[in-house]
Amino acid sequence: MSDIRNTAPHGEDFEPVPGAQSIDVQGGVGAGHLPPEPLPTEDKSYSQTQLVWRRFLRHRAAMISCAVIVLIVLVAYSSIGVGPIPGWWDKTYLATYDKIGTGSPTLTHPFGQDAIGKDYFAMTMRGTQHSLFIALGIGVLSTILGTLVGALAGYFRGWVDSVLMRMTDVFIVIPLLVIAAVLGKMASSWGIWGLTLILGAVTWTGLARLVRGEVLSLREREFVMAAQAVGTSASRIIVKHILPNAVGVIIVNATLAISSAILLETALSFLGYGVQSPDTSLGLLISQNQNAFATRPWLFWWPGLLILTIALCVNFIGDGLRDAFDPRQTRKD
């Protein structure tokens, strides 16, 4: 068998011209082409998803980032618990404790204490919980909205496209921070759910444009035409044929949306429009303690470091996914 490509995986010999059966249409013609796409040589069927997954698992930075994120999530939720369920950390983020010295990190309070003696570890964990929840919520919501709008606009074009895209333009021309601040203030009575919904509803625009572009090019592909020629309905073509092929763009941008949502929530809380005291978030903690930076720097550093770590990790995962979905970016070994 040819060792250039695994084109006859079972070695079945059915071509009338036996010597030529394992020769592929894409392999040799064209100039400056890439090496034949790496394909599995063992007798196993890999779907595209499996190939992507393989490449993702080999992306070192993304794998380390995944581990760090999982660790942060586990610690944040298990330490102080969620709602009525208690965690393994014996202090709460609301109670005040006797201040030990200046409140700098000690064994009892590993992250230190704030000005009135609250346990800063519990507060930071609570803030991390909120920030993660909001970020993930915004990421998921804006991805769903953006995909929907983009897919409809791109597939149907015409007036549907015009209406949806002009609507997108309206969202884009208003500065995100302003609209988020105004709506966030209005929704603050609904707690972090309201904030998540509102922010998700204004951050889908970028993805909508990307998905629209992708769908516009995918809808001209022959397999879509083939599906149309059989009589496939528009909804089935979008869901079954187009979106699975745009999933790379969507997933990659969802991760990037999550990391920018963390920063957006932080910025809003810092400005006082996001999560309201006495509840807390990482951005709010920084805002409350910005004056303490010189005297009690730990109050600034712990939430700051967490924001940095989470945003960085999510970005690395996005990077890894992009590399995994785009096999042309082969690494030079």
Place of tokens 């201040």: 99
In angstroms, the CA 43 to CA 39 distance is 11
Segment near other proteins (CB under 8 A); pick from 81-89, 131-139, 231-239, 272-280 = 231-239
Contact mark string toward other proteins, 234..263, x via CB under 8 A: --x---xx--xx------------------
Nearest distance from residue 2's CB to other proteins, in Å? 5
45 touches other proteins (CB under 8 A): yes
60 touches other proteins (CB under 8 A): no
12 touches other proteins (CB under 8 A): yes
55 touches other proteins (CB under 8 A): yes
Nearest to other proteins of 2, 92 (CB atom): 2
188 touches other proteins (CB under 8 A): no
Interacting positions 271-300 with other proteins (CB under 8 A): none
In angstroms, the CA 218 to CA 224 distance is 8
CA 214 to centroid of chain Cα atoms: 18
Segment near other proteins (CB under 8 A); pick from 42-50, 104-112, 159-167, 208-216 = 42-50
Nearest to other proteins of 54, 174 (CB atom): 54
CA atoms lying within 13 Å on the CB side of residue 68: 19
| Count of CB atoms situated within 10 Å of the CB of 266 | 28
Let me know: does 164 contact 152? Beta carbons within 8 Å: yes
Angle at 260 between CA 144 and CA 252, to 5 degrees: 55
7 touches other proteins (CB under 8 A): yes
| Nearest Cα residue to 329 out of 82, 95, 56, 107 | 56
The maximal CA–CA distance of the chain, rounded, in angstroms, is 88
Size of the site for other proteins (CB under 8 A): 66
Q: For the residues of 204-225, what is the DSSP string, one character each? A: -HHHHHHHHHHHHHHTTSHHHH
Nearest to other proteins of 163, 221 (CB atom): 221
22 touches other proteins (CB under 8 A): yes
| Nearest Cα residue to 250 out of 206, 218, 211 | 211
Residue type, 322: R
162 touches other proteins (CB under 8 A): no
CA atoms lying within 13 Å on the CB side of residue 129: 22
226 touches other proteins (CB under 8 A): yes
Segment near other proteins (CB under 8 A); pick from 113-121, 159-167, 217-225, 265-273 = 217-225
Interacting positions 113-152 with other proteins (CB under 8 A): none
Nearest to other proteins of 31, 107 (CB atom): 31
In angstroms, the CA 276 to CA 284 distance is 8
Angle at 131 between CA 128 and CA 200, to 5 degrees: 165
Cα distances (Å, whole numbers) of residue 212 to 92, 172, 234? 47, 15, 15
Nearest distance from residue 237's CB to other proteins, in Å? 10
Contact residue for other proteins among 5, 99, 157, 185 (CB under 8 A): 5
Residues that bind other proteins (CB under 8 A): 2-10, 12, 14-41, 45-49, 54-55, 58, 221-223, 225-233, 236, 240-241, 244-245, 330, 332-333
